[in-house]
Amino acid sequence: MPADLQEIIDISDKDHFISNSFHFKKNDEIPIKDHSKNSQLINFCYDILQELDIKSNIHPFYKYDEKEIKNPMDLFTIISKLENDQYTSIEEFEKDIRLIFRNCYIYNDIGSEMHTLGEALESTFNKVWAEKLIFQGKQKEKLKRVRDSDTDSSSELVTKQIQILEQNKDKLVYKQVVNDALLIALAYENLVADNIVPFIELIKTFLSTRSQISLSSAGEPVLQAIVENLLPLKYCIPELSLVMDGTKLKGFGRFGYSDIFILKGIGNNNISLELKYISLVGLIKTQKKKFNTNDLENLDKIIEKEDEKILLKRLYEYWSKEHNEIKQITIEEILNNGVNQLKSYMNIISKGKSIDYYSSGIFDKRIKITKSNPNKLKGFVILVIGFRRILWKPVEEITSNYSYEKI
């Protein structure tokens, strides 16, 4: 564990919930059991706890001081009850969660640090709880509607689309939209068939339309937005949420986010993309401290045709938050770091859904995961330098025993 909980939040002596030096360990304090008989309820409760961990500070409420509290309750006890299959309804789970808040307010003064933390956590819980219950209700209703009208609505939509295109076949804007859509569809089909080249060409085409003025401000968020727009919405899940290590705390390696996860549809492979952007500013700063837009544009043109071996040895300058200083790294190191990062994401994705608080896996409401026959999961690191040069590197494929579907 990178840091003791006492270093994360300092709780005064009068506060009755304690978190110092407390750490959950898989298969240690709480054994993992098979919850097949009650899995739906338990998964629902674990999802709540996972979202609370992401959206709020739950660490002070892991453990209580038994000597001080008449009706004690904490997250350790709740997780233990989940692990031992002691809940028979979501109402029982909710009752225990709310007992934590009630104790917090009874045993801590209004305005104290713990009282304020309790109010913040309760507010988050109320929102997450309401969203979960509404989502469950909508899913049931949606399933019913789909069963009743899926075939009819799909055929009507296709018919309507054909009619619109036929009516506007001579209009230039419609022709362009259709051409763009066909390019995106073709690039996607090649990508899930393990051919990334058409997709790379599509990114290059899009980047070539960008203003040279934005050379100094472009970054990974810009690249992320571009790539998202060049993939079919139905098969693209941006920033797929993952639990990398369920034994760690938020902010210390617990969560990770895969930049782009592409569902295979009728293709052969699910694809995970790791996106890296090399700013021209970070490259030119290793050579000169004063520069203008023309300097950046000239560097962009040089890099476009530069030998890859020479390009990979170029130094890139960036500000390191970890070391609080300017650091330098080669483009090759950035590319290799991206490969290692993507490998770790793909390994987690292949495990399917995170089944309990301590386990690694996918933790994302946008994706449905079901057990299936073995299928391939492939990955590519895409590294964009400026607006004219793209490097890409495949990652060794792995096997997944799950199928993935966007909700």
Please state whether beta strands 367-385 and 255-262 pair in parallel, antiparallel, or not at all (unpaired).
unpaired
Exposed (0-12), middle (13-18) or buried (19+): which is 210, by Cβ within 10 Å?
middle
Please report whether residue 387 resides in a domain. Answer: yes
**Which neighbouring-strand residues pair with 260?**
238, 273
Count of the separate structural domains present in the chain: 2
pLDDT of residue 138: 53
Contact between residue 375 and residue 43 where contact means Cβ atoms under 8 Å apart: no
Torsion angles phi and psi, residue 285, rounded to 5: -65, -20
Between CA 176 and CA 184 the distance in angstroms is 12
Task: Select from 99, 118, 140 the last residue of a domain.
Answer: 140
Please state whether beta strands 255-262 and 269-278 pair in parallel, antiparallel, or not at all (unpaired).
antiparallel
**Which neighbouring-strand residues pair with 395?**
379
Flag whether the pTM goes above 0.75: no
- Chain centre distance of CA 282: 27
Q: Is 212 helix (H, G, I), strand (E, B) or coil?
A: helix
Scan for tokens 């799909």, then name that residue. 154
Residue 302 one-letter amino acid:
I
To the nearest 10°, the Cα dihedral for 108, 109, 114, 117?
120
Between CA 363 and CA 356 the distance in angstroms is 10
Shared domain for 275 and 387, answered yes or no, is yes
Shared domain for 321 and 180, answered yes or no, is yes
Shared domain for 211 and 103, answered yes or no, is no
Shared domain for 124 and 238, answered yes or no, is no
pLDDT of residue 216: 65
Please report whether residue 157 resides in a domain. Answer: no
Please report whether residue 168 resides in a domain. Answer: no
Please state whether beta strands 325-330 and 315-320 pair in parallel, antiparallel, or not at all (unpaired).
antiparallel
Please report whether residue 326 resides in a domain. Answer: yes
**Which neighbouring-strand residues pair with 318?**
327
Torsion angles phi and psi, residue 348, rounded to 5: -70, -45
Please report whether residue 28 resides in a domain. Answer: no
pLDDT tens digits along 98-111 = 999 888 888 888 88
Shared domain for 377 and 310, answered yes or no, is yes
Which residue range is the domain that position 110 belongs to?
37-140
Using the CB atoms, write b or e for 369-399: b if 16+ within 10 Å. Answer: beeeeebbbbbbbbbbbbbbbbbbbebeeee
pLDDT tens digits along 274-317 = 999 999 999 999 988 888 888 888 999 999 999 999 999 999 99
Shared domain for 131 and 248, answered yes or no, is no
Shared domain for 202 and 297, answered yes or no, is yes
Shared domain for 331 and 376, answered yes or no, is yes
pLDDT of residue 4: 33
pLDDT of residue 139: 53
pLDDT of residue 277: 94
Please report whether residue 153 resides in a domain. Answer: no
Please report whether residue 160 resides in a domain. Answer: no
Shared domain for 100 and 206, answered yes or no, is no
Shared domain for 203 and 349, answered yes or no, is yes
Task: Select from 140, 162, 184 the last residue of a domain.
Answer: 140
**CATH code, domain with 111:** 1.20.920.10
pLDDT in tens, the chain (407 residues): 333 322 222 333 334 443 332 333 333 333 333 444 577 888 888 888 988 888 888 888 887 766 678 888 999 899 989 888 899 888 899 899 999 988 888 888 888 888 889 888 988 888 888 777 766 655 555 555 545 555 555 566 656 666 766 677 677 776 777 777 888 888 898 899 889 999 999 999 888 877 665 666 678 888 899 899 999 999 999 999 999 998 888 888 899 999 999 999 877 899 999 999 999 999 999 988 888 888 888 999 999 999 999 999 999 998 888 788 899 999 999 999 999 999 999 999 999 999 888 899 999 999 999 999 998 999 999 999 998 999 999 999 999 999 999 98
CA distances from 142 to 137, 145, 149 (A): 9, 5, 10
Please report whether residue 345 resides in a domain. Answer: yes
Q: Is 380 helix (H, G, I), strand (E, B) or coil?
A: strand
Shared domain for 259 and 375, answered yes or no, is yes
pLDDT of residue 383: 97
Shared domain for 249 and 376, answered yes or no, is yes
